[in-house]
Structure 1
């Protein structure tokens, strides 16, 4: 049990620091170069040892394209003004986008805690939007970076929906095989986008990147993608999801602290309020059902 707790905390730290690694690597790489290299590192050398999953490319390709959209948008957002601290919070809105897509595409039910969580998340986004009343960049981020970050979270949600439908089609597929082979898909579109949209003077700047920037790429590809995902999956295999999932609440906390301490980022009062609402919304979604059942269950007198 102690080892599993350490594994869960390790995943939280790895994913929380993930955004700092992105921000740091973007000093030497363009967003599309970073996307290309991230997935090259995620694929190599594991592809030589990990078998192709039993899933068809019908599922691998959409999942990979969703990843391309997610990180392409996120890397651009980080480059044009989004801070690592706030990106770690805003990406957690994928929970609510996943919920909405699940209702529309998978005909899943919208429970009471999910409704309350969505309402809190909407208030939180309103707090972020309050920074931009009157226009311009406020509190260290730009409106364009905020919008792109939210679209990136929506693409993460789309990836989740693909994974759920893949699970229905092939319940026994191996998640590690899935993530390694799916990582092949984004490499080509990222490389094409880099060639088409990066200024000619920057197309080969990756060859002059610092050792620290390359370390950031390795961290994103090997640790944030492969190691953390493998640990998380192993925890889900040994413990109920409702005991593992709450640890993800620690990701924005680590992300906020890391962004402020390592990059000197500042968080405005409105952004603190928005972050608090988003984290509270996640807590309501994860714990609200159990708390309501316990409270109302104890409030109803037993029949004897």
Structure 2
């Protein structure tokens, strides 16, 4: 990868990692489902006026909107509102890679190699370590909500992989457009009639997550994937929890325990190992 493109990949991981601190700021002023609905509304409009059709069947757009837009962000934001710290949330969300592989094996008939089993087992051990450490001092409910968000993200990744949209940015605009209405309906049913009275920092938070993190972030991600193999680009997503944990410690004072650091190392290294290719052995024994 060229140095300029390498800087783009690392910078994108920093943007997505800092995103969790920004969302925590927004949740001070908006209920979680309304915050998610406003995020996707801003990401969809006015961009929807300048892009064409998504380029894939509408069922794939609806599937990703339901899994990633509604389920993932809805559960994650509710969990963060209930007490899940932003840095820890970014780490738990990384376990979506584990669920992506499991769903790909179940629904796409992808092969489960010995390397993948080993790497995912290490990552799952890290996730259990997070659950143990978090459960010692806080209710387990917020943690389980974030795990549910990771499951939904994994399912959405498989649906998007099946859809194979030709333009990821245009696809994300339409996913945002289809995510906003059900989130708004759920917000009205669960949180009452929406109120848009919020200070400037609340709206700045929404602007960041809608335009910089969602549209800008997925635009850069898609641009890199068009120029490099996914196996080259994807590992840089593992930097997201690194930036998430460090920015949360810096800006919110979130404590990083030794257990969390070990868990982070297990999750990141496990996912990285599962997604890498062996150098010496050209073919691996297939387990399933």
Partner of 1:122: 124
Give yes or no for contact 2:20–2:87 (8 Å, CA) kept in 1: yes
Summarize deviations over 1:95-147 as a string: whole Å, max 9, x none: 11010011111111112221111111221122123236xxx661xx5311111
* Inter-partner Cα distance in structure 2 for 1:156 and 1:257: 23
Partner of 2:238: 249
Partner of 1:97: 99
Q: Please point out which of 202, 211, 230 is paired with 2:200.
A: 211
* Inter-partner Cα distance in structure 2 for 1:173 and 1:126: 37
Give yes or no for contact 1:80–1:142 (8 Å, CA) kept in 2: no
Task: Provide runs of 4+ in structure 1 moved above 3 Å.
Answer: none
Summarize deviations over 1:54-108 as a string: whole Å, max 9, x none: 2121111111111210000000010111111011111111111010011111111
* Inter-partner Cα distance in structure 1 for 2:128 and 2:136: 16
Aligned ranges for residues 274-293 of structure 1 at < 5 Å?
274-287=263-276, 289-290=277-278, 293=279
Aligned ranges for residues 45-84 of structure 1 at < 5 Å?
45-66=46-67, 67-84=69-86
* Inter-partner Cα distance in structure 2 for 1:263 and 1:156: 26
Summarize deviations over 1:267-295 as a string: whole Å, max 9, x none: 233222222211111221233x23xx23x
Asked if 1:194 is matched to 2:187, the reply is: yes
- Could you state the TM-score of these two structures normalised by the residue count of structure 1? 0.87
Gapped regions of structure 1 (runs ≥ 5): 298-304
* Inter-partner Cα distance in structure 2 for 1:75 and 1:269: 26
Give yes or no for contact 2:76–2:149 (8 Å, CA) kept in 1: yes
Partner of 2:17: 16
Partner of 2:108: 106
Query: Number of residues paired by the alignment?
Result: 280
Of 52-61 and 85-94, more deviation after overlay is shown by: 52-61
* Inter-partner Cα distance in structure 1 for 2:232 and 2:158: 22
Partner of 1:33: 34
Q: CA deviation at 1:184?
A: 1.1
* Inter-partner Cα distance in structure 2 for 1:112 and 1:15: 31
Give yes or no for contact 1:91–1:153 (8 Å, CA) kept in 2: yes
Partner of 1:147: 144
User: Which structure has the larger Rg?
Assistant: 1
Of 265-274 and 46-55, more deviation after overlay is shown by: 265-274
Give yes or no for contact 1:82–1:142 (8 Å, CA) kept in 2: no
Aligned ranges for residues 227-266 of structure 1 at < 5 Å?
227-266=216-255
- Kindly tell me: are residues 286 and 108 of structure 1, through their superposed partners in 2, closer, same or farther at Cα, counting changes over 3 Å? closer
* Inter-partner Cα distance in structure 2 for 1:240 and 1:212: 38
- Could you state the TM-score of these two structures normalised by the residue count of structure 2? 0.92
